[in-house]
A and B are shown apart, each in its own frame.
Chain A
Amino acid sequence: MSTSSPNSSASRIPVPVIAALAAALIGLAIVLAFFVAPEDADQGISQRIFYFHVPIALTAYACFGWGAWKALRLLWKGGDRYDLESYVAIHQGTIFGALTLATGSIWAKASWGKWWVWDSNQLVLFLVLFLFYSAYFMLRFSIDDGPRRANVSAVYALFGVALIPVSFLAIRLAEDFIHPTTFNRDGPQMTGTMFFTFCVAWLAMTVLAYALYRVELLGKRLDANLRELREALA
């Protein structure tokens, strides 16, 4: 009945430390992105959003991957804790996915004047993934708690990571008959400072995701323990 997840070295670092680190890194990233990094000649302000949009997207991928890894462990070895960890990771991934869509939308508005464009493959991919993982939650909430729910969620999580590259390929292929690529997309050529800013932002987002992951896990485990205690006393 422990409240901490055992074993891995990162999980021994207390949550407040991680949260503080995340806050510090985000602060640093914001300063770098908006004040220190040079303005891009072509894209101006929209490029600043890029410093967050891409790291957030990468972090979302990482969360989905982490969730799938935990899902695999669940199917392999079994045990409630992998189910919870997988669920929380995917939950974080979906939040970051939604943020990716939001920042992507802001970027599209700033760059091309429309709130949505189909030209950015990454954005379209996230739209598909967002639909997929939203269905994950609907599926999970419509099955009663137990091994069935854990197993089904885990298998679906594995389908998710398989879908990521396959969908990306599909979207690439669809360019032929959906839209000719008329705009110059994604990564501007990054100079030293820009790259450094990007890396800081990426690290910040990753640590933020991990902090939120630990917090949510802690919260859910506390909930479960409290419930068990209540039942034992009743």
Chain B
Amino acid sequence: MIRARAVEKRYGRRRALRPVDFTLERGGFLVVTGPNGSGKTTLLRLVAGLAAPSAGELEVEGGRGTLGYLGHEPLLYRDLTALENLDLYGRLYRVPERRERIGMLLERYGLWDVRGERVGSYSRGMTQRLALCRALLHEPELLVLDEPFTALDVDGAELLDCQLAELAGAATVVLTTHEPARVDPLATATLALA
């Protein structure tokens, strides 16, 4: 599903990601670890297609429509409600049976009651849960998650554990985390960045 050969990223003089090689088969679960500044976020952005490598080859199967991304920012509109945010993304991703899917996700992640409130009024945990809904909305085949547990509250983290356990094997997952132990049982591969 993903093949990386000597992939690196430079922003002018600054080296954001040193050359890295790895392969991840379909259904694989890759956990990326490394200290701050080692380029974990950069690597995930490259895989997601938000940036292009400065050198090397990166092949990611599937188009933008099959990829779900969760970054450090929620990628949401603070002045829109949860429903409005997901509705917009649902349209852009051409999600079939949009309303049902949105309802299902909001309920599952405990956001149904606040669906009509501005995202700007949510707590950090709630925002992250909604961001997760956004990433999962179109049932992506490749899920790219950048430290998803960091901003989640306890309930949210448990929900994510469940979700990842469900997805393992069915979808391909690339994930960075500061607590690798949490996702160890699910991981099929690890990548440690220096």
Contacts and interface: CB of A to CB of B under 8 A. Distances in A.
A147 B13 contact: no
A227 B13 CA distance: 9
A145 interface: yes
A146 interface: yes
A78 interface: yes
A42 interface: no
A146 B52 contact: no
B19 to A, nearest CB: 15
Interface string A109-145: 0000000000000000000000000000000000011
Interface in A147-185: 147, 149
A145 B10 CA distance: 9
Interface in B20-61: 51-52, 54
A145 B52 contact: no
B185 interface: no
B96 interface: no
Contacts, number: 18
Interface residues of A, number: 8
Question: Which of A78, A145, A146, A149 is the most central at the interface, judged by chain B CB atoms within 10 Å of its CB?
Answer: A146
A146 to B, nearest CB: 4
- The size bracket of the interface on B is under 10
Nearest to B15: A231
A144 B14 CA distance: 10
A215 B52 CA distance: 31
B13 A145 contact: yes
B12 interface: yes
A87 to B, nearest CB: 13
Contacts of B51: 147
Interface in A189-234: 227, 231
A16 B11 CA distance: 33
B64 to A, nearest CB: 19
Nearest to B10: A146
A31 to B, nearest CB: 46
B9 to A, nearest CB: 9
A171 to B, nearest CB: 38
Contacts of B11: 144-147
A147 B11 CA distance: 7
A148 to B, nearest CB: 8
Nearest to B12: A145
A220 to B, nearest CB: 13
Given A78-B52, A145-B13, A146-B14, 15 more contacts: A144-B11, A144-B12, A145-B11, A145-B12, A145-B14, A146-B10, A146-B11, A146-B12, A147-B11, A147-B51, A147-B52, A147-B54, A149-B12, A227-B13, A231-B13
A-B pairs with lowest CB-CB distance, top 6? A145-B12, A146-B11, A146-B12, A145-B13, A145-B11, A144-B12
18 contacts: A78-B52, A144-B11, A144-B12, A145-B11, A145-B12, A145-B13, A145-B14, A146-B10, A146-B11, A146-B12, A146-B14, A147-B11, A147-B51, A147-B52, A147-B54, A149-B12, A227-B13, A231-B13
